[in-house]
Amino acid sequence: FFFSFCSLPAAGLFRRALMVSGWCTIESDPGVFSELITELGVKGVQVHELWSLDKESMAEVGPVHGLIFLFRWRGEKDDRATVTPGPGVFFASQMIPNACATQAILSVLMNCPSISLGEEMTAFKAFTKDFPPDVKGLAISNSDLLRRVHNSFARAEPTVSEERRASKEEDEVYHFISYVPVDGKLYELDGLKAGPICLGDAGPGEAWLDAVTPAIQARIEQYSSREIRFNLMAVTADRRERLLAEQAVIEKERNMTVGKVQARAGKLPSPAELERLAASHPEPPATGEVAVDERTLEQLLIALAHLTARAAKVAADIENEQQRVGQWKIENIRRRHNYAPFIVNFLKVLAERGELGPLVEQAKKKQRHGAR
């Protein structure tokens, strides 16, 4: 469970924010964040957990819109200078506890023009465009949609209130921040800071990922001697959409190639023959309908073999993505479900059968035996 403090840019605004407090802590999990984004009405976006900052890991998850980093917050002094947000930078101060996860997500979504925000988030962005950071933060805290979606991922724990948990574990304070490229610059966005921290030029395309790596590594190394609990997630384009688009391109060229092979040879090779051709010949470059006509029969067969192999791989990747998203949904249902009534009734049944007492004694014996 993750907790965060809130900044106090203005006492009056803070008191107003407290009136709409009651934001729960949510788990740092790609399935939680992905479904939260979808429920806000944003389309074509997923979140992936990263285990490495190397280029291969980044390329595997697809185009990266921004990064979200979780770390243990210690309140240590940070002398890095902040900048005044420019007109293209969405930056909001964190006004209430426990909202940093959603604010970190918004810091990425609102700063990426290519993302389809949906009707409500588009309206929210336009409404808050000219607000200063503290008023943007207040707008977030007052948003019924944001608070409702955020709190929908609260774990069902009827015996422990959020306030009691916070007071018991206030030494375990975790915080989310974001890294995003905006208008050619790379920014670290932390709602507990007075403003964005500019980390330098972002570079073209996804070159900003090379620039952000040292900043994240430096932060990890800063705590590595006494802390190992970090989490890094990438906000990306939905892999399913990219794979489906790739599948459509492959199938179009494959269908053209199949038609040319049938017209010239009268029949298609067997699956085994196609596998042999793909293994023994390099893949030719993708081509259009005119170039397909110019290929010899042998070239067409080799192209068909590789297109068939690529089609099978993409289909498998799509199936894996569908299964992963389906598993996320199942896990989120389990997170939200309240198991307490079932457990209480189960214990009652055991007690009525006279089985609870012996099981408790058996557990005590195992505990004593394990302590020796």
Contact 56, 206 (CB under 8 A): no
Helix locations, 80-172, DSSP H: 100-109, 118-128, 133-142, 144-151, 162-168
Secondary structure class of 109 (helix, strand, coil) = helix
Helices (H) and strands (E) in the chain, counts: 15, 6
Active site residue 175: yes
Tokens of 14: 């803070």
Could you identify the residue written with the tokens 């902040």?
82
Active site residue 100: yes
For residue 237, list its beta bridge partners: 45
The residue annotated as part of the active site, out of 48, 65, 150, 175, is 175
CA distance 111 to 283: 39
CA distance 257 to 296: 11
Say what angle helices 100-109 and 144-151 make with each other, to 10 degrees.
120
- 121: Cα within 13 Å, side-chain hemisphere: 26
**Residue from 235, 97, 233 nearest 175 by CA:** 97
What are φ and ψ of residue 70, in 5° steps? -110, 135
Contact 253, 291 (CB under 8 A): no
**Residue from 181, 121, 314, 321 nearest 238 by CA:** 321
CA distance 37 to 109: 9
Single-letter amino acid code for the residue at 284:
P
Q: CA of 189: how far to CAs of 44, 106, 203, 330, 362, in Å? A: 23, 10, 18, 32, 53
Single-letter amino acid code for the residue at 320:
N
The residue annotated as part of the active site, out of 6, 100, 112, 198, is 100
Please count the residues of the chain: 372
Secondary structure class of 171 (helix, strand, coil) = coil
Could you identify the residue written with the tokens 């390099």?
282
Catalytic residues: 100, 175
